[in-house]
C-alpha cells in the first residue's frame, strides 16, 4: 500500500515529508511467557497493553504515566520485550487501532503497539499530533477478520511532514492551546448531555409518580415509593397483564412439513426504551410453536438479562414486522387494554420505582443481572384509571420530544467539535494553516 493510499492528505503538505522510521527509531513490544510464573513476579516495569487504550480514546491524554500491568526484569530479559525511553511515541495497531500517546517514563509495550523514539529532527509532540491526524486513515487500512491490525509493512511506510524543529514546536504550542479550548467545549457538551439524561429520567419518575424524588415514605417493601394518590392503587402486574414466553432455539430439531420460517427478535434487538431492528434473524419452527410466540402490536418487551441498570426496561412493540416471533430470553407482556395502557407500563419501568424494583430483585453476577417471569409479574404498578394513564403518557411523551430535540442539537455540536479538532490538527501539521495569522503568533 502506497503512502498516498494510507494518508492521502499528506500529498497536500506544504512541508517535505519523510518516512517516520528515517527520523525516529521504529520499535515494538512483546509479552513475556504467561506459562512462566517467575516472569510475573516482582513486576516493576510499566508495560503498556490494550488494557490501557481507554486512557487514549478521547485523544485528550498526551502523556501516559500509568499502566494496568507491569512486567519483571526477568520477564523482560527472557522475551522480546524492550524498555523504551521516556518521550517515546506509541501507536496501538491491533484491535483498538490508531490511538497514540507519549511515554512519560521508560516503559515497555505489548506487541499490540509500535513505538518511535524520535531523533534530533523530529519533536515527539509534533509526531503525536501527526499520528492523531492520521488516525481515521489508520483505522481504514487496518486489516484482519478477527482483530483489525495495521501490519508492519504499512507501518514502515508511514510518513510525517517535516518542517524545521523550531516550526514543529510552534505548531505544537498552537495546537496545545487550540485543542485544549476545543476539548473544554466538548466536555461541556458531554456534561450537558449527562444532565439532560438525568433530567429526563427524573421527569418521567415525577410525572408518573409525583413525590418519588422528594417524598419517599421509607416503608417496606418499597421504601422508595411516596404515598399513592387516592385514585391510584398499587397493583401486581400479573393481575392486569399476561406474559408470553418466546421461542427456544433448537438446532438439532428435525424439520417437519408444518414448519414455518419467521423473523424473530433476539435480546440484541431490544434496547432500553427502543428497538434496534437493523439486523433481524429468522427462525424455522413448527406452526403451533410460532402461533404461541408471535408478537402483537401493543406487547411490551422486556429482556431476561443484561446490564443491571437496563434490567426490566420495557419497550412497546408496534407491529414493526409482520408475524414476528421472539426469543425465549425476551418476554412479551400483553396488558389487558381496558385496565393498563402499554405505553404507561413501558414508561413505568423507566422510573426510579421501576429501576429500584428490578435492580433489587434481579439476580446479579459480576457484570450482568437477570430476572424471571415471576419477578416481572410481581412488579407493583401504580394504577390509576385508564384515561389518567393515557394523559400521563402524553405529558411524558411531550417532555421526551423536547429532550430529544435538545439531545440532537448537543450531539451534533459534539460531532462538529470533533471534526473541527481533526481538521485543525491536519491543517496545522501539514502547513496548510498559517498558525501565525491564525492566532497572531509572532514569527521567529
- 204 vs 314: CA distance, rounded Å: 14
Phi, psi torsion values for 78, nearest 5 degrees: -110, 30
Lowest pLDDT segment from 266-275, 325-334, 380-389: 266-275
pLDDT score of 281 more than 60: yes
- Predicted local confidence at residue 4, as pLDDT: 57
Mean pLDDT, rounded, for 14-20: 94
pLDDT band of residue 440 (cuts 50, 70, 90) is very low
Looking at residue 332, its pLDDT comes to 96
Would you state the cell numbers that stand for residue 20, as one nine-digit string? 517516520
Q: With beta carbons less than 8 A apart as the criterion, state whether 59 and 176 touch.
A: no
Mean pLDDT for the stretch of residues 23-29: 96
Closest CA to 158 of 29, 319, 59, 20: 20
Q: Which pLDDT band, with edges at 50, 70 and 90, does 352 fall under?
A: very high
The pLDDT assigned to 366 comes to 72
* Chain centre to alpha carbon of residue 217: 37
Cell 409518580 identifies what position? 209
CA 259 – CA 246 distance, rounded (Å): 16
Closest CA to 377 of 238, 234, 239, 233: 238
The region that residue 356 occupies, defined by phi over 0 for left and psi between -120 and 50 for alpha, beta otherwise, is alpha
pLDDT at residue 443, rounded to an integer: 41
- Dihedrals phi, psi of 440, to nearest 5 degrees: 70, 30
DSSP character at residue 74:
H
Give the rounded percent of residues in the chain with a pLDDT score beyond 90.
Answer: 80
Least confident residue range of 140-144, 165-169, 245-249, 317-321: 140-144
Q: How confident is the model at residue 1 (pLDDT cuts 50, 70, 90)?
A: low
pTM value is 0.81
DSSP 59: S
- Give the CA distances from residue 244 to residues 214, 282, 339, 385, in Å, rounded to whole numbers and listed in that order: 36, 19, 18, 24
Among the ranges given (8-12, 142-146, 385-389), the one the predictor scored with the smallest mean pLDDT: 142-146
- Predicted confidence band at 254 (pLDDT cuts at 50, 70, 90)? confident
* 309 pLDDT higher than 80: no
pLDDT at 269 over 60: yes
Q: Are strands 270-271 and 274-275 parallel, antiparallel or unpaired?
A: antiparallel
Number of Cβ atoms within 10 Å of the Cβ of 412: 11
Query: Quick check: 211 and 199 in contact, CB under 8 A?
Result: no
Q: What is the pLDDT of residue 144?
A: 75
CA–centroid distance for 168 within its chain: 35
Closest CA to 335 of 284, 285, 390: 390
34 pLDDT higher than 60: yes
CB neighbour list of residue 101: distance below 8 Å, 6 or more residues apart = 55, 56, 61, 62, 63, 64, 89, 90, 128
CA distance 99 to 93: 8
Provide the pLDDT for residue 145: 67
Q: pLDDT tens digits, residue range 177-215?
A: 999 999 999 999 999 999 999 999 999 999 999 999 999
Indicate if the pLDDT at residue 439 is higher than 70: no
CB 50 within 8 A of CB 113: no
Q: Are strands 113-118 and 89-92 parallel, antiparallel or unpaired?
A: antiparallel
What pLDDT score does 306 carry?
Answer: 79
* Residues contacting residue 45 through CB under 8 Å, at least 6 positions apart: 70, 71, 72, 73, 76, 83, 106, 107, 108
Coil/strand/helix, residue 161: strand
Residues 40/74, Cβ–Cβ less than 8 Å: no
Mean pLDDT of 272-292: 91
Half-sphere exposure of 297 (CA within 13 A, CB side): 5
Q: In the chain, what's the furthest Cα-to-Cα distance?
A: 84
Q: What is the pLDDT of residue 438?
A: 67
What pLDDT shows up at residue 3? 52
pLDDT of residue 308 exceeding 80: no
Contacts of 195 (CB under 8 A, 6+ apart): none
Contacts 24+ apart (CB under 8 A), 246-255: 246/293, 246/325, 246/326, 246/327, 246/328, 246/329, 246/330, 246/331, 246/332, 247/283, 247/285, 247/289, 247/290, 247/293, 247/325, 247/326, 247/327, 247/328, 248/328, 249/283, 249/327, 249/328, 255/284
Q: Which of 53-57, 151-155, 197-201, 383-387 has the highest mean pLDDT?
A: 383-387
Question: CA-to-CA distance for 322 and 303, rounded, in angstroms?
Answer: 21
Amino acid at each position: 500500500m502506497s503512502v498516498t493510499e494510507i494518508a492521502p492528505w499528506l500529498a497536500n503538505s506544504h512541508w517535505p515529508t519523510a518516512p517516520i522510521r528515517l527520523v525516529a527509531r521504529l520499535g515494538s513490544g512483546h509479552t513475556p511467557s504467561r506459562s512462566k510464573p517467575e516472569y510475573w513476579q516482582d513486576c516493576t516495569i510499566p508495560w503498556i497493553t490494550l488494557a490501557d487504550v481507554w486512557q487514549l480514546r478521547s485523544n485528550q491524554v498526551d502523556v501516559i504515566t500509568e499502566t494496568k500491568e507491569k512486567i519483571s526484569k526477568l520477564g523482560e530479559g527472557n522475551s522480546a520485550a524492550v524498555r523504551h525511553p521516556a518521550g517515546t511515541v506509541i501507536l496501538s495497531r491491533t484491535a483498538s487501532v490508531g490511538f497514540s500517546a507519549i511515554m512519560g517514563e521508560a516503559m515497555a509495550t505489548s506487541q499490540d503497539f509500535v513505538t518511535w523514539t524520535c531523533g534530533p529532527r523530529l519533536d515527539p509532540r509534533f509526531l503525536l499530533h501527526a499520528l492523531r491526524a492520521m488516525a481515521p486513515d489508520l483505522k481504514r487500512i487496518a486489516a484482519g477478520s478477527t482483530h483489525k491490525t495495521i501490519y508492519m509493512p504499512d507501518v514502515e511506510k508511514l510518513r510525517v511532514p517535516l518542517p524545521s524543529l523550531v516550526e514543529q514546536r510552534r505548531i505544537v504550542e498552537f495546537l496545545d492551546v487550540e485543542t485544549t479550548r476545543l476539548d473544554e467545549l466538548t466536555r461541556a457538551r458531554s456534561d450537558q448531555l449527562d444532565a439532560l439524561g438525568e433530567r429526563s429520567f427524573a421527569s418521567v419518575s415525577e410525572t408518573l409518580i409525583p413525590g418519588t424524588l422528594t417524598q419517599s415514605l421509607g416503608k417496606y417493601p418499597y421504601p422508595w415509593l411516596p404515598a399513592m394518590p387516592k385514585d391510584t392503587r398499587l397493583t401486581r402486574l400479573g393481575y392486569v397483564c399476561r406474559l408470553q414466553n418466546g421461542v427456544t432455539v433448537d438446532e438439532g430439531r428435525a424439520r417437519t412439513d408444518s414448519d414455518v420460517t419467521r423473523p424473530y427478535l433476539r435480546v440484541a434487538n431490544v434496547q432500553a426504551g427502543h428497538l434496534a431492528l437493523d439486523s433481524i434473524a429468522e427462525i424455522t419452527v413448527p406452526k403451533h410453536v410460532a402461533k404461541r410466540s408471535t408478537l402483537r402490536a401493543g406487547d411490551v418487551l422486556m429482556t431476561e438479562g443484561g446490564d443491571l441498570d437496563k434490567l426490566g426496561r420495557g419497550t412497546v412493540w408496534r407491529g414493526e414486522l409482520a408475524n414476528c416471533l421472539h426469543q425465549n430470553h425476551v418476554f412479551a407482556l400483553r396488558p389487558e387494554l381496558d385496565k393498563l395502557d402499554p405505553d404507561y407500563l413501558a414508561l413505568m419501568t423507566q422510573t426510579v420505582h421501576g429501576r429500584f424494583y428490578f435492580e433489587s430483585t434481579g439476580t446479579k453476577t459480576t457484570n450482568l443481572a437477570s430476572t424471571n417471569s415471576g419477578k416481572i409479574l410481581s412488579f407493583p404498578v401504580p394504577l390509576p384509571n385508564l384515561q389518567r394513564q393515557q394523559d400521563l403518557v402524553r405529558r411524558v411523551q411531550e417532555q421526551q420530544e423536547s429532550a430529544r430535540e435538545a439531545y440532537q442539537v448537543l450531539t451534533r455540536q459534539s460531532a462538529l467539535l470533533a471534526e473541527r479538532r481533526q481538521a485543525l490538527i491536519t491543517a496545522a501539521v501539514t502547513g496548510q494553516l498559517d498558525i501565525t495569522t491564525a492566532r497572531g503568533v509572532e514569527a521567529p
